[in-house]
Structure 1
Amino acid sequence: MITEALTFFTPTTEEGEGAYFFDTGISCGFPSPAEDFKQQRISLDRELIKNKEATFFARVSGQSMIDAGLDDNDLLVIDRSIAPEHNKIAVCFIDGEFTVKRLQIENGTVWLKPENANYDPIQITSENNFLIWGIVTNVIKRV
């Protein structure tokens, strides 16, 4: 049984120039002089979305992927145009529920591997109603 849920969103394009972007790198040590800052605009849509028609967002609900850096309430960027491959993180539809797991493809067998030792891998068999819905390309976190 899958114990987590995903809430899906479609991207919308806002007209405008995007947020300000300082193309200097942000130091975690000593601050750099203020005159070094070069100010320009950045669009997160252009940075995070490669194929708008095939891209969706989903909010994570659950803890099964915390060791991969996907925490409860994180926002995933999912591209349905990317071919699934071994070791990619995928949003899958299995037996009527969505889940996000790492794909493990070994000798023709597909496993959905959680990234949390408290959860067991799921072996996909012919008994399952299974679809790889899309590949996770980015995660957006709140701090």
Structure 2
Amino acid sequence: MCALTSPPQRVIEVALDRVPAGFPSPAQEYSDAKIDQSEILIRYQISTFIVRVSGDSMQGAGISDGDELIVDRSMQPKDGYAVIAVTDREMTVKRLITTPRGVVLKAENPNYPDLPVAELSDFRIWGVATTCLHHLEAPLPN
């Protein structure tokens, strides 16, 4: 029998100040303080997963092809949340919209149609996307 152990902490150094996107301040101070990524990104570790996005149907929500989403399966999905939904065994990431006529999975790209959920379909919300880890166009060299 395998005992469950907690994963090792992964800490990153953090600067005290925000980084300006305009002109840099030469007087800016830096710190050697450290933060644990899990404390910021994950509420409930046991119910949190990372999924990789394939496609561009959510680009209007800032979610691009190849990004990773942190998904919390313990969260109650609400209208307007980005969710991982399973419809008839097909998994997708879309915006959850509830209407008087039923549930709609809304794409955030005008090139993709909204997906109304048929009343008798096999439908469930797998989890709520809480954070998008977006990759920059020009990755840093290894």
TM tier relative to shorter chain: 0.7 to 0.9
Aligned to 1:109: 102
Aligned pair partner of 1:133 in 118, 126, 130: 126
Deviation string, structure 1 residues 24-72 (Cα, Å, up to 9, x no partner): 1112233223562222101211100001111000000011101111100
Instruction: Return the alpha-carbon distance in structure 2 between the equivalents of residues 74 and 29 of structure 1.
Output: 26
Higher share in strand: 1
The residue type equivalent to 2:21 in the other structure is: C
Q: 1:141 to 1:13 in 2, by over 3 A?
A: farther
Partner residue of 1:45 out of 29, 33, 38: 38
1:123 corresponds, among 95, 116, 119, to 116
1:15 has 2:13 as partner: no
Structure-1 residue corresponding to 2:139? none
Paired AA for residue 115 in structure 1: E
Higher relative contact order (CA 8 A, sep 6+): 1
Q: Which runs of 5+ in 1 are unaligned?
A: 1-11
- The answer as to 2:74 corresponding to 1:95 is no
Partner of 2:3: none
Separation in 1 of the partners of 2:61 and 2:75? 19
Contact in 1 for aligned 2:9/2:36 (Cα 8 Å): no
Q: TM-score with structure 1 length normalisation? A: 0.85
Gaps of 5+ in 2: 1-5, 137-142
Q: How many corresponding residue pairs? A: 131
Deviates more, 1:112-121 or 1:29-38: 29-38
Q: Match for residue 70 of structure 2?
A: 77
